[in-house]
Amino acid sequence: MKFNTKTIHGGQSPDKAYGSVMPPIYQTSTYAQSTPGGHKGYEYSRTHNPTRHALEHAFASIENGTHGLAFGSGLAAIDAVIKLLKPGDEVISTNDLYGGTYRLFTSIFEKFQIKFHFIGMNKASDIKSYINANTKLIWVETPTNPMLNIIDIKAVSAVAKKHNILLAVDNTFATPYLQQPLDLGADIVMHSATKYLGGHSDLVMGALVVKDIDLANKLYFIQNASGAVCGPQDSFLALRGIKTLHVRMQRHCENGRAVAEFLAQHPNVETVYWPGFETHPNHNIAKQQMNDFGGMLSFTTKGNRYEAAIKTVERLKVFTLAESLGGVESLAGHPASMTHASIPKEEREKTGVIDSLIRLSVGIEDSYDLIQDLTQALST
Ligand SMILES: *Cc1c(COP(=O)(O)O)cnc(C)c1O
């Protein structure tokens, strides 16, 4: 089945009871038993829920995996992956990382004696010097946030396989429409389904997909034992979101390109960070491992003035100034004062998060209106 069919039918079949085409919302915590242990496969909704199961099958299908798991948030999904480890184990992670992931690793799991190395992964060979007998996991996020660096998943996977280390990829920014990490050698794909998979800014959810039954069983055990599952109502909404993922992503990519090209020629714009430009340092890897370049981009305004960037985002009318990304509506953010404000100025500037940097999640509105909005916001 092709991807554009899988989003609609993957892992889905009409409900057995009445043939309902969408899976019903089984809003229940428990299930009747005819005799102790005599049930229809469902005992308790932390462990099993038919609506969540339908969603988990859809997750597995669109990521070319065999098993999917749904969680109450993206961070709950990451939390479950790290719980595969034990004290003394080590993780090598990308340094240009979603802030909440960094906080979970350093503020929660370092207390349990798990050691994290945050490194640049532009060259996969650079990873080798951090590998030792305790290294159990490599954590990759690509494209990175907010600088849109691209990491070569195949090359990192070759290093991981050689040393028998698990590779997990946070595929939130790209979605399986653009990139399928399991096919490139990753063992685990993770999503904040809050973003593009849900796609309508109306839920918070996480996903994991794997292609190995032993790994799946370990993660199902953690999912049930720790209990960070999502509810049936949100499962239904996420399933509904996934059905239009391919058409939404196509428009996100078209609009992303139109906005990137507009910004690149604007006299008040200094630099545009978008992997679709041939001048982007990782453009060739992006072209190899992604089907298109997505709707996320960042840019800096001329002169690098903090106030000028703040004024620009305040003036936007079609773009909403907000955290998050991946919904149908366009959002703008100012990383230095919002998502990355907790990182010391010198630290954030090392990775490119300077005062004038603005991040856009380009939505699926008419690109004419998005460009008009940016035109008026940038004219001073
Ligand atoms: C939002 C996000 C997360 C965290 O997901 P939540 O659903 O907010 O818990 C993790 N990784 C990336 C890349 C994200 O954008």
Q: Ligand 1 pocket, 101 CB below 6 A?
A: yes
Is 195 labeled as catalytic in the residue annotation?
A: yes
- Could you confirm whether 257 is annotated as catalytic? no
Position 256: which residue type?
G
% of the chain exceeding 90 in pLDDT? 89
Question: How far is it, in rounded angstroms, from Cα 53 to Cα 232?
Answer: 9
> Is 201 touching ligand 1 by the criterion CB < 6 Å?
no
Tens digit of pLDDT for each residue in 316-360? 999 999 989 999 999 999 999 998 887 788 888 988 999 999 999
Whole-number pLDDT of residue 302? 93
Nearest to 185 by CA among 235, 124, 253: 124
Q: Half-sphere exposure of residue 290, counting CA atoms within 13 Å on the CB side?
A: 27
Q: From the candidates 79, 96, 152, 170, give the one annotated as an active-site residue.
A: 170
CB atoms within 10 A of CB 49: 25
128-185: pLDDT as tens digits: 999 999 999 999 999 998 999 999 999 999 999 999 999 999 999 999 999 999 999 9
Which is the closest atom of ligand 1 to the Cα of 204?
A: 7
* DSSP H/E element including 346: helix 345-350
Phi, psi dihedral angles at 377 (to 5 degrees): -70, -30
| pTM for the predicted model, two decimal places | 0.96
Q: Provide the mean pLDDT of the chain.
A: 96
Q: In this structure, are residues 273 and 304 in contact, taking their beta carbons and an 8 Å threshold?
A: no
Pick 323 or 30 by higher pLDDT: 30
Give me the half-sphere count of Cα atoms (radius 13 Å) on the Cβ side of residue 62. 33
- Mutation pick for ligand 1 pocket among 75, 96, 190, 296 (CB with most ligand atoms within 8 Å): 75
Percent pLDDT > 70 in the chain is 100
**Minimum CA distance residue for ligand 1 atom 2:** 192
Which residue's alpha carbon is at the smallest distance from atom 9 of ligand 1?
74
| Domains (range + CATH), the chain | 3-242 (3.40.640.10), 246-377 (3.90.1150.10)
Q: What is the mean pLDDT of residues 67-89?
A: 98
CA nearest to 322, candidates 235, 195, 197: 195
Positive or negative, the Cα torsion across 272, 278, 283, 287? positive
Q: Is the pLDDT of residue 239 over 90?
A: yes
Catalytic annotation on 345? no
Residue 102 CA to residue 88 CA, distance in Å, equals: 18
Find the range with the poorest average confidence among 145-149, 221-225, 367-371.
Answer: 145-149
CA 254 to ligand 1 center in whole angstroms: 24
Does the CB atom of residue 195 touch ligand 1 within 6 A? yes
